Amino acid sequence: MATKIKIICVGKTSEPFVREGIKLYEQRIKHFTGIQIVELPDVKAGSVQNKLYVKEKEMLAVSKHINPEDTLILLDENGTTYNSLEFASFIEKHTSTSRSLVFIIGGAYGFSELLYQKAKHKLSLSKLTYTHQLVRVIFLEQLYRAFTIIRNIPYHNQ
Amino acid sequence: MATKIKIICVGKTSEPFVREGIKLYEQRIKHFTGIQIVELPDVKAGSVQNKLYVKEKEMLAVSKHINPEDTLILLDENGTTYNSLEFASFIEKHTSTSRSLVFIIGGAYGFSELLYQKAKHKLSLSKLTYTHQLVRVIFLEQLYRAFTIIRNIPYHNQ
């Protein structure tokens, strides 16, 4: 079964080096699977600075890119932490059982309750807090690494 | 006490996007402290592929950049994992007690026994295995983040 992977990020990629890193790993992942990266604009709170409002508006934009058959996985600081081999097993399992994997990298205020309810899994990359920009590159590199582990291609532990 | 921070990396930075990321955070860190990044060439094992030989030769090169008064900290997968606030406390403590903090990001084969013995601490950024290239950017961003937390400058949790 050919699985498509979609990564939805809240906030445009503003750092040029992050954009380059995303491009690099996106191209490498394309050798293994279909991948689409959706970047949604930040919601500007203006002078109101209402976090709940910003979060809900961001999540409304995210929900437009989600279909009922998608397996949703949130990148969340309270999620499960895996090592790279465990993460590869996670990817292998889900690419063999789901036609569409959707990973969501939230904005500064996190996810809505509705999205938490809909999501099948929560993943955490580290106990450390990364920028929402850098997370994209780190996650894509892990995804690429996972496919090299699954396919037994020399890359991991080289 | 003005602490100088030195980061010794084994292997040249080959990815242009990584080089850009390093430059960005290095410049930002310079607002807070003296920082020097030393990149040592990879040791080519040739056809021998003797891991121990490569490791010891790399460590010999590293040792030339270490002085007796340095506080040595290894970035090691079996090291302590902190969250960003804990890491900031770690940096605050060591910048107030040591004149020279040296972080070492090893090569593919890790560190020599001698370096493990000399090192005061081992830090791990994540359970995930990152590339030796990407680790540099991730670590520098955390170091920058640590200083913004110590100085109470808005950046973390924005």
Q: Is the pLDDT of residue B46 over 90?
A: no
Tell me the average pLDDT across A59-74.
Answer: 94
Tell me the average pLDDT across B44-53.
Answer: 71
Per-residue pLDDT band at B5 (split at 50, 70, 90): very high
Q: Does A12 touch chain B (CB under 8 A)?
A: no
Tell me the average pLDDT across A43-57.
Answer: 76
- What confidence score (pLDDT) does residue A70 get? 95
Q: Does A157 touch chain B (CB under 8 A)?
A: yes
Q: Does B137 sit within 8 Å of A81, measured CB to CB?
A: no
Residue B50 DSSP SS3: coil
Per-residue pLDDT band at A139 (split at 50, 70, 90): very high
B contacts of A81 (beta carbons < 8 Å): 126-128
- What confidence score (pLDDT) does residue A38 get? 97
A contacts of B24 (beta carbons < 8 Å): 15, 17
Q: Does A60 touch chain B (CB under 8 A)?
A: no
- What confidence score (pLDDT) does residue A52 get? 82
- What confidence score (pLDDT) does residue B29 get? 97
- Nearest CA distance, B143 vs chain A (angstrom): 11
Percent over 70 (pLDDT), chain A: 95
- What confidence score (pLDDT) does residue A96 get? 93
Tokens (6 digits) for A5: 């992977």
Taking the C-alpha atoms of A46, A51, A57 and A60 in order, what is their torsion angle to the nearest 10 degrees?
160
User: What's the structural domain count of chain B?
Assistant: 1
For B98-152, write each residue's pLDDT tens digit. 999 999 998 878 898 889 999 999 999 999 999 989 999 999 999 999 999 999 9
Q: Is the pLDDT of residue A49 over 80?
A: no
Query: What CATH number has the domain bearing residue B25?
Result: 3.40.1280.10
Percent over 70 (pLDDT), chain B: 95
Per-residue pLDDT band at B35 (split at 50, 70, 90): very high
Mutate to test the interface with B, among A25, A125, A129 (most CBs of B within 10 A): A129
Q: Does B49 touch chain A (CB under 8 A)?
A: no
Q: Does A127 touch chain B (CB under 8 A)?
A: yes
Chain B residue closest to A110 (CA)? B157
Q: Does A141 touch chain B (CB under 8 A)?
A: yes
Stated as kind and residue range, the H or E segment containing A102 is: strand A100-105
Q: Does B18 sit within 8 Å of A128, measured CB to CB?
A: no
B contacts of A158 (beta carbons < 8 Å): 108
Q: Is the pLDDT of residue A6 over 60?
A: yes
Per-residue pLDDT band at A30 (split at 50, 70, 90): very high
Mutate to test the interface with B, among A123, A124, A127, A136 (most CBs of B within 10 A): A127
Q: How many CB atoms lie within 10 A of CB B85?
A: 15
A contacts of B17 (beta carbons < 8 Å): 17-18, 20-21, 24, 137
Q: Is the pLDDT of residue A1 over 60?
A: no
Q: Could you tell me which residue, A50 or B65, shows the higher pLDDT?
A: B65
Q: Number of A:B CB contacts under 8 A?
A: 80
B contacts of A125 (beta carbons < 8 Å): 126, 128
- What confidence score (pLDDT) does residue B48 get? 59
Residue pair B151/B32 in contact (Cβ under 8 Å)? The answer is: yes
Range of the domain at A19: 4-157
- What confidence score (pLDDT) does residue A44 get? 75
Residue among B21, B83, B127 whose CB faces A82 most closely: B127
8-state DSSP, A43: P
Residue pair A101/A71 in contact (Cβ under 8 Å)? The answer is: yes
B contacts of A16 (beta carbons < 8 Å): 20
Listed in sequence order, the residues at least 6 apart from B68 whose beta carbon sits closer than 8 Å to its beta carbon are none
- What confidence score (pLDDT) does residue A46 get? 64
Beta strands in chain B (DSSP E): 4-10, 34-40, 71-81, 100-105, 121-124, 154-157
- What confidence score (pLDDT) does residue B1 get? 55
- What confidence score (pLDDT) does residue B44 get? 75
- What confidence score (pLDDT) does residue B157 get? 67
Q: Is the pLDDT of residue A81 over 80?
A: yes
- This complex has an ipTM of 0.90
